[in-house]
């Protein structure tokens, strides 16, 4: 009988458990689609933007996903700083 190792817990990683849908929705709510397109220049944010089309692109385009995840982390840090104000 083989045992599979559980992935390590990541309690301090803000991306842990965050789906692409959650990330894109939060960014679009915070920056708006136009602001998101300025920060990550991909067509799915600027031409008929939707969460669905964004998820499809981000699943297959590693550089865009990295930029979006980085922007999400930046947004979370900014919110945290504002709350500590």
DSSP one-letter code for 47: S
Strand, coil or helix: 38: helix
The predicted-structure confidence for 58-70, as pLDDT tens digits, reads as follows 999 999 999 999 9
Distance in angstroms (rounded) separating the CA atoms of residues 34 and 84? 28
- CATH number, domain 20-84, options 1.10.720.30, 3.40.50.970, 3.90.180.10, 3.20.20.140: 1.10.720.30
The predicted-structure confidence for 35-84, as pLDDT tens digits, reads as follows 999 999 999 999 999 999 999 999 999 999 999 999 999 999 999 999 98
Strand, coil or helix: 11: coil
């Amino acid at each position: 009988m083989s045992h599979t190792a559980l992935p390590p817990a990541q309690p301090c990683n803000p991306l842990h458990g965050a789906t692409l849908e959650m990330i894109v929705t939060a960014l679009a709510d915070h920056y708006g689609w136009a602001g998101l397109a300025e920060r990550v220049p991909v067509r799915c944010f600027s031409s008929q933007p939707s969460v669905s089309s964004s998820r499809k692109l981000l699943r297959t385009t590693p550089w865009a996903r990295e930029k979006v995840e980085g922007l999400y982390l930046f947004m979370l840090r900014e919110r945290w700083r504002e709350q500590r104000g």
